[in-house]
Amino acid sequence: MNTLTLPAWAHPHTDLTGRTALVVGGAGGVGEGVVRALLDAGARVVAAGRSSTRLDELASRLRSPRLHTTVLDALAEDLDQAVSALAAEHGGFDAVVVSVASWGDQGRKPLLALTDAEWDALVAANQTSVFRLYRALVPHLGVDGVLVQLNGLSADLPFPWAGGVALTAAATKSLTRTLAAELAGRGPRIYEVILGVVRTRARQFAGVDDPRGIEGAEVGIHLAELVAGSSPLTGAALHYFVDKAAGPSGSAPERP
């Protein structure tokens, strides 16, 4: 795995040696970049996801002795037991990154055209899954631990023809900020990071890649700084990373 080139806004010496991070959705487009950056900072990383094939492919690409993979389904009945066993296996976690989202199978359609089944599936995949992960994982993070949810701008903006995606993004933003307020000073640090367009392998394959977009590894560099406590945004629960050159910010981007 090649060493990453740090963007101009990054802290030059982020060291996570000796720390263990769990990345749920680690084989996804954004998650892979996060995994790569955390490994580059010296962390031991457990990448979790539902597809053993994608996890195996991730491990093959990154080839790091500090990378471990595991199948984890946020909607499984035995999630709490699976997380407890995973924490015991790896000696607990210093950081957890939740990078899960689904567009569903309904395609682009008006909000009120969604069937009950399509609505239920979107809520389960994008909202219930995050809630269940928080409930299972927070007890395994100490007061010095870090929990981050990665979200998209649809959490803040109307998203015509994909209303179910936007509504669940807004709900998990509220969920994460509420948890941050409840645990402030009494539990792990909780962060909501809202992202602009991220360059992913899937977007490249689909022919819609935009070089102006954020790299997944750049997202991971920011998260590594949060875990290390070296980011200037460490004290803020809500972050926006929309402008590649400017880097992460504690303020929402201006809307045209």
| Domains parsed from the chain with CATH numbers | 20-241 (3.40.50.720)
Structure tokens at 119: 């609505």
Q: How far is CA 204 from CA 215, 233, 254, in A?
A: 12, 31, 28
- Residue matched to tokens 């997202």: 219
Structure tokens at 219: 């997202």
Q: What is the phi-psi region of residue 119: left when phi exceeds 0, alpha when psi lies from -120 to 50, beta otherwise?
A: alpha
Task: Give the per-residue pLDDT at 85.
Answer: 98
For 110, the enclosing helix (H) or strand (E) is none
Spell out the alpha helix ranges (H) of the chain. 29-40, 52-62, 79-90, 116-123, 129-137, 163-183, 201-205, 216-228
Q: Are 49 and 29 in contact (CB under 8 A)?
A: no
Task: Give the per-residue pLDDT at 193.
Answer: 98
CA gap 27, 31 in Å, rounded: 6
What is the distance in angstroms between the CA of the first residue and the CA of the last residue of the chain? 40
pLDDT in tens, the chain (256 residues): 667 889 999 998 899 999 999 999 999 989 999 999 999 999 999 999 999 999 999 999 999 999 999 999 999 999 999 999 999 999 999 999 999 999 899 999 999 999 999 999 999 999 999 999 999 999 999 999 999 999 999 999 999 999 999 999 999 999 999 999 999 989 999 999 999 988 776 666 666 777 778 999 999 999 999 999 999 999 999 999 999 999 999 999 877 5
Q: Are 221 and 10 in contact (CB under 8 A)?
A: yes
pTM, entire model: 0.95
Spell out the alpha helix ranges (H) of 124-215. 129-137, 163-183, 201-205
